Amino acid sequence: MRCAGIFETHAHYDDAAFDDDRDELVSSLPENGIETVIDVMSDMASLEKVSDLMERYPFVYGAAGIHPEEIKDINMADMEKVRALARMKKCLAIGEIGLDYYWDKDNSFQQRYWFEYQMEMAREEGLPVIIHSRDAAEDTVESAKEAKLSEIGGVMHCFSYSKEIAKIFLDMGVYLGIGGVITFKNARKLVETVEYAPIESLLLETDCPYMAPVPNRGKRNSSLYLPFVAEKIAEIKGISSDEVISITSENAKRLFKKYEQIV
């Protein structure tokens, strides 16, 4: 299943799930229609790995940030290392950052502190943000408004809320990251959101190795499965999958402005 020009906006090829065949898989992406990949940092252990991937593969770019589940022991010295990665030529965004109350809401104050700190870092570095938000819609909206996210720019990664919440972020000029979940049978809410949102506000992503789309659900995900996501969006929007790929690629280049300065 091949197509041309896919811009993968959220992958984790630094993850241990790819240790056995990372080079073989990543090297195969361009010949299978994956034009660009952003490998997204999640914790301090992934910082050097993201840097290495950017250096090794011409089509792989990076994002620098600390995931909300990984902020427990973070300090300012760590954040300066994140900032240093953000200043690398091929780093396109601050992420993934945000709030996640699914496992632990007791540290919500700490999560919000580092979320807002990293949004301010993005402003200072002139980069958009990649936001993770799970079971934390109200606080995410509040923090985004306080940080004036509309001035910073960004994407709601793996968007999982209602179209009413989507409208709030779309009104800020924020993009919605759509991945394999859109193909799941229980994805009614997300389908409604994709129906509602302008195609010019959508980005393709995998979050690989997680959340592989149907018909590969339950397997290790990779950018090679993005055509299935594009096909589902095309079905919802009543356009061709080639149009979805072309438009979402242009959307990504518009958001990640640094990309156009590099290529």
pLDDT digits (tens, 9 = 90+) for 130-152: 999 999 999 999 999 999 999 99
d(CA 173, CA 168): 9
**Which whole number is the average pLDDT over 19-42?**
98
**What CATH number has the domain bearing residue 251?**
3.20.20.140
pLDDT band at residue 4, thresholds of 50, 70 and 90?
low
What pLDDT, on a 0 to 100 scale, did the predictor assign at position 9?
98
d(CA 121, CA 3): 36
What pLDDT, on a 0 to 100 scale, did the predictor assign at position 262?
85
d(CA 259, CA 171): 24
Number of compact structural domains in the chain? 1
Domain containing 149 equals 6-262
Q: What percentage of the chain exceeds 70 in pLDDT?
A: 98
Whether the per-residue pLDDT at 3 is higher than 50: the answer is: no
d(CA 120, CA 149): 9
What pLDDT, on a 0 to 100 scale, did the predictor assign at position 2?
42
Residue 54 lies in a domain: yes
pLDDT band at residue 105, thresholds of 50, 70 and 90?
confident
- Record the pTM: 0.96
Instruction: Share the mean pLDDT of the chain.
Output: 96
**What 8-state DSSP symbol labels residue 75?**
-
Helices 241-255, 226-237: axis angle to 10 degrees equals 110
Residue 1 lies in a domain: no
**Which whole number is the average pLDDT over 176-185?**
98
What pLDDT, on a 0 to 100 scale, did the predictor assign at position 242?
97
Q: Which amino acid is at 201?
A: S
d(CA 186, CA 188): 6
**Which whole number is the average pLDDT over 108-128?**
97
What pLDDT, on a 0 to 100 scale, did the predictor assign at position 45?
96
What pLDDT, on a 0 to 100 scale, did the predictor assign at position 261?
87
